[in-house]
Structure 1
Amino acid sequence: MAKPLLMLPLLAAAFFLAAAASASARVPAAAFTTPAVTRTANRSGGCYPRFFAFGDSLIDTGNFIHYSTAPGPVARSPYGETFFHRPTGRASDGRLVVDFVVERLGFPYWTPYLAGKTEDDFRYGANFAVASGTALNQLLFKKKHLDVGGITPYSLGVQIRWFEKVLAMLGSTEHERREIMASSLFLVGEIGANDYNHPFFQNKTREWVMPLVPRVIRSIGMALEALIQLGARTLYVPGIFPLGCAPRYLFLFRNSSTADYDPATGCLRWLNDLTTHHNSLLQAKLAELRRAHLDVSLVYVDYYDEVLSIVSAPARNGFTPATALDACCGGGGFHNANFTVHCTEPGAVQCPDPSRYVSWDGLHMTEAVYRIMARGILDGPFAVPPIVSRCKKY
C-alpha cells in the first residue's frame, strides 16, 4: 500500500543545497581538491591502464562542489574526517568505493572531471559522477511538475557526453580511441536511486514512482550501449542498495505500521521491493546487452545483497547492532535522521566512531561500509567475476 508523504524538501536540495551555505561561508573549490597521492601505476599486476566511472553521490569525488554555487554540508567538516581529514566533496566520512578501486589499481586519486583541464589530468581515467545525479534527465522531471532546483542537470547522458570529450582528448585517431576503450575498466553506477529519491521527497507516492523504473533502466541501457559502440569491453554495473534500510527513509516513514517493516532487519519492505524491482530489470537489461554483444563483459554488481548482509548481521561485519539503522551524523530524532538539521549544522548529533556505523549521514554510507563494498566488487562475491580476476596485462 502506498504511503502518503509529508511535504518535505527535496532530498538532494536538503542535503546538498542547504540554505545555510552562503557564498560568504564557502571555501574555494580548490581547497576541496583530493590530495595527490603518489603511487606506481598498475601495482595490481598490470591491470587496466585506465578506469572511468559514472554515477551519483555514492561515486562523486568532487564534481558537485566544482560546479555548485552552494555545495552545502558536503563541503564542510565533519565530511572527510576519517581519511582525508577535511571535506573533499565526497558524501562520506572518508573514502568511497571508487577510491578503494583506484587504490587497488595502483593509480593516484582522481582529479574530478570538472576540475581537470589537460590530458595529463585524465592519464589514469576520470570520474564523471555528480552528487544528486539521475539516470533520467532533468527535463523529464520538470515535465512531470517536480521542483528541479535540487536535481543536477548533469544526468547520466550528460556524463557520457563528458566522457566522449575526454576520449577525444586522449586519442587523436579512431584506432587509438578504440584501443583505449578496449583496455579500460568502466563502472557505470550506482545510478538510479535519485530518480526515486527526488519524487519521494516531493510528496510523491510509490504508485507515482514505480512507472519510472523501466524508463530509468532504459536510460542506463542506452548509456551502456553508447560506451560499447565506442569500444568498451569491460563494464561493471551496480544495482541500487536497499533504500528501505536508509535512515532518512526510516525517519520519513516513521509512522508506518508494524507490518511495513521486515522483522529480520527493521527495513521498510515496500521500499526494498521497489529497489529489487529496479535491480531485477537492470539484470534483465544486462542479459539482453550480453546477447547482443558477445565480445563484451557486462558484470552486475550486487550492492543490494551486499549492504543488506551488513545490516542483517552488523556485529559480524564490525558494526554496532543497536545502531545499524542509525545515521552516524544527523539531525537527531528517529534513527538520528531528521534531515531538517544537517550533519554539519548546530544541533546535529555525531557518533564518536564512524567505523562502527553503517550509515554516515542517513543516506550515504561510512568509509567502513564502502571498504566492504569495494572488496565485494574487487575480490567477490558480489561481482562475478570480480575486477581483480579480470585483470589483463596491456
Structure 2
Amino acid sequence: MLEAAAAVLFFLAVVSPVVSSQSYNAIFSFGDSISDTGNLCTSGCPSWLTTGQPPYGNTYFRRPTGRCTDGRVVIDFLADHFGLPMLPPSKASGGDFKKGANMAIIGATTMNFDFFQKHGLGNSIWNNGPLGTQIQWFQQLTPSICGTDSDCKSYFNSSLFIVGEFGGNDYNAPIFSGKVSMAEIRTWVPQIIDTIASGVETLIGLGAVEVVVPGVLPIGCFPLYLTLYPSSNKDDYDEIGCLKSFNDLSSYHNELLKTAVSRLQTKYPGVRLMYADFYAQVADMVRSPDKFGLKYGLKVCCGAGGQGSYNYNNGKRCGMPESSACDDPENYLVWDGIHLTDAAYNAIADGWLDGTYCSPGNPALNKLPLIIG
C-alpha cells in the first residue's frame, strides 16, 4: 500500500506544475555520451573531440557544449520540468552543485579499464570514467553540497538520481574492435548488470531513495551500426529495418537489468526504483516517427548528407570538415549516427515523465495531459 501511494504521489508531481517545481532538492546524473553535459569541455572543447565542434549544440545553445547532440539531452528536459537549473558537469571548477551535478562523461563504461585490458581491449577504451569512478566524483562533491554525512543523507533523500544508461560503450568496444564474437560479448552481460546494480546500491547507501535506472538503446537501429555492418540477408533485419543481432544484445542486457532493479526494489522497500525504457521508446520512434512529431527514423541529420540509405559515412562524421547538417533537425530522430536529436530527447523525457516508458507507472494518471511547468 505504501509503495502504491508513493507511486501515485510521484506521478501527481510530474503532471503538476506547482508540485513538480518543488519535488526535488537536486538531480544527480551518471552515464555516458547519452547524458553528458560537458565534462570534457569545462575549459572549452578540445580540438580533437569531434562532438565538441560545430554544428553540435546549434539548435539550442548556438555553440558546442560537450553534449553529443544539436541541443539538449534528456537530463536537461527533466531538470527544466522539475524547476531546477540545467545540471552543471561535475568537472566544472568552482561550480555550484547544490541543485544537482552531472557525472556523466563521453565514452564512459560500466566496467573499469582492467576488465577491458584483460580481454585485450585496452586500446579501445580512451576515457577512464566508468560507473565506479563517477560515483567517486560524486562523493568528492558532497561536502560542498550538503556538509556532513547525516545532512547529506537527508538532502539526498529528497533528490532524484539517474543512473545511466550504462552498457552501451561496454558493448561498443568489443564490437568495433572486431576481436570479440557476439557470443562472448553476451557472456559479459551478467557481470555488467551486477556492476550497475552494485553502483545503484552504493548510491542508496549514500541516501538515494528516488532512482531512475535506464536501459540501453536498440543499437541495431543506429545508422552507424546499419552502415558498418550491413547484411545481404533480409532475415538479419527486423520489421522496422534494424539489425536483429545487435538489438538482441540490447534486449538481453535490458531484461537482466529489469530483473536486477526488481531485486533491489525487494531488498530496499523504502526506495523507489524506476526502470526507464530507452529501448522500447526509440524502437517506437523508428517504427512511427510521426507519433513523436518527427519525420525520419533511420536517417542521420548531421553527417554525410545524401550518402547511402542513412546519410552516414564513418569518414564524414558530424563535426568533421567534410560533413554537413540538415536544416530541420526537429524532424529527425538521429543526430549523428549514434546519438539522438534535441527533439528526440525532448520526446523521451516526456515519455519518462508521463509513465509511458518508465515504470512503475500509474495507468490512470498516464492518461492525463503532461504539463511542463
What is the TM-score with the length of structure 2 in the denominator? 0.87
**Which of 59, 65, 84 is 2:61 aligned to?**
84
Aligned to 2:13: none
Alignment of 1:162-201 (within 5 A): 162-201=137-176
Aligned to 1:158: 133
Alignment of 1:237-252 (within 5 A): 237-252=213-228
Identify which range, 127-136 or 209-218, moves more after superposition. Answer: 209-218
Distance in 2 (CA, whole Å) between partners of 1:386 and 1:113 is 30
Once the two structures are superposed, residues 185-223 of structure 1 have per-residue CA deviations (whole angstroms, 9 ceiling, x without a partner) of: 000011111100111111133123111211110110110
Aligned to 1:328: 301
Once the two structures are superposed, residues 214-238 of structure 1 have per-residue CA deviations (whole angstroms, 9 ceiling, x without a partner) of: 1110110110010111121110000
Distance in 1 (CA, whole Å) between partners of 2:87 and 2:18 is 14
Distance in 1 (CA, whole Å) between partners of 2:29 and 2:68 is 16
Contact 2:303 2:325 in 1 (8 A): yes
Paired residue secondary structure (2:195): helix
Distance in 1 (CA, whole Å) between partners of 2:201 and 2:54 is 39
**Which of 45, 52, 56 is 2:32 aligned to?**
56
Distance in 1 (CA, whole Å) between partners of 2:232 and 2:293 is 29
| Distance apart, 1:105 and its partner CA | 1.4
Once the two structures are superposed, residues 64-116 of structure 1 have per-residue CA deviations (whole angstroms, 9 ceiling, x without a partner) of: 23488555221111101111111110000111000001111112222211014
Change (3 A) 1:385 1:371: same
**Which of 278, 285, 295 is 1:310 aligned to?**
285
Change (3 A) 1:42 1:70: farther
Distance in 1 (CA, whole Å) between partners of 2:361 and 2:336 is 29
Change (3 A) 1:350 1:45: closer
Amino acid at match of 1:374: A
**Which of 255, 268, 272 is 2:247 aligned to?**
272
Task: Tell me the matched-pair count.
Answer: 343
**Which of 205, 230, 241 is 1:254 aligned to?**
230
Contact 1:116 1:122 in 2 (8 A): no
Change (3 A) 1:42 1:79: farther
Runs of 5+ consecutive residues of structure 2 not aligned to the other structure: 1-16, 366-373
| Distance apart, 1:181 and its partner CA | 1.7
Change (3 A) 1:174 1:223: same
Paired residue secondary structure (1:362): coil
Paired residue secondary structure (1:333): coil
Identify which range, 272-281 or 337-346, moves more after superposition. Answer: 337-346
Q: What percentage of residue pairs aligned between the two structures are identical? A: 39
Contact 2:223 2:312 in 1 (8 A): yes
Matched, 1:216 2:186: no
Once the two structures are superposed, residues 224-254 of structure 1 have per-residue CA deviations (whole angstroms, 9 ceiling, x without a partner) of: 0101111211100000111110010000111
Contact 2:52 2:319 in 1 (8 A): no
Amino acid at match of 2:357: F
Matched, 1:226 2:199: no
**Which of 85, 91, 96 is 1:108 aligned to?**
85
Aligned to 1:145: 120
Contact 2:276 2:352 in 1 (8 A): yes
Contact 2:21 2:83 in 1 (8 A): no
Distance in 2 (CA, whole Å) between partners of 1:51 and 1:226 is 17
Distance in 1 (CA, whole Å) between partners of 2:108 and 2:88 is 19
Aligned to 1:96: 73
Distance in 2 (CA, whole Å) between partners of 1:117 and 1:158 is 20
Paired residue secondary structure (2:121): coil
| Distance apart, 1:278 and its partner CA | 0.2
Distance in 2 (CA, whole Å) between partners of 1:346 and 1:51 is 36
Runs of 5+ consecutive residues of structure 1 not aligned to the other structure: 1-40, 390-394
Following TM superposition, the consecutive aligned residue runs of length 4 or more in structure 1 with deviations greater than 6 angstroms are none
- Alignment root-mean-square deviation, CA: 2.0
Paired residue secondary structure (1:176): helix
| Distance apart, 1:386 and its partner CA | 5.9
Distance in 1 (CA, whole Å) between partners of 2:117 and 2:55 is 33
Aligned to 1:128: 103
Distance in 1 (CA, whole Å) between partners of 2:27 and 2:18 is 11
Identify which range, 303-312 or 339-348, moves more after superposition. Answer: 339-348
